[in-house]
Copies of this chain bind each other. A is one copy, B any other.
Amino acid sequence: MSISLEAFGDRWSLLIIRDLMVRGLRTFREFQHSGEGIATNILAERLQRLQAAGIITAEAEPADGRRVNYRLTEKGIDLGPVLLELLIWGTRHEETGLPCALIAKMASHREEVLAEVRRRWRERDHTPLLPNPKEKRK
């Protein structure tokens, strides 16, 4: 457990992973403007660390040489269950803007949700899994 936390146990890493997994973000710029307000130097450093840890990869976009597409590795997509449990806990115990019905469904259909997350990853389907809440979640 402490080993896991060393790889991504800080305030930002898991949010980046979440954005990759369920919000369909891929580029530096998209993370930067995703609404959580991460500083660019920290973002750069976290992307490096996650890459070094083998959780994400960086590949240049062929159509645009400036752009770098970040993507979860298999090791990264395996964090799906962790994120799902975090989401379920947060929804159950804290005030979130998410529809409760949606979460109840997720909790009772764990395996299906995770299979869908994996499917999207495999097929590089970048449509967001969750509807974007109206309110920016803090």
A interface residues with partner B (beta carbon < 8 Å): 1-7, 9-11, 14-15, 18, 36, 54, 75, 78-79, 81-83, 85-90, 92-96, 137-138
Contact = CB atoms under 8 A, between A and B. Distances in A.
A89 B93 contact: no
Given A2-B138, A36-B2, A7 B94 contact: yes
B88 A81 contact: yes
Nearest to A92: B78
Contacts of A14: 1, 5, 9
A86 B82 contact: yes
A1 B9 CA distance: 14
Given A9-B10, A9-B11, A85-B85, A1 B90 contact: yes
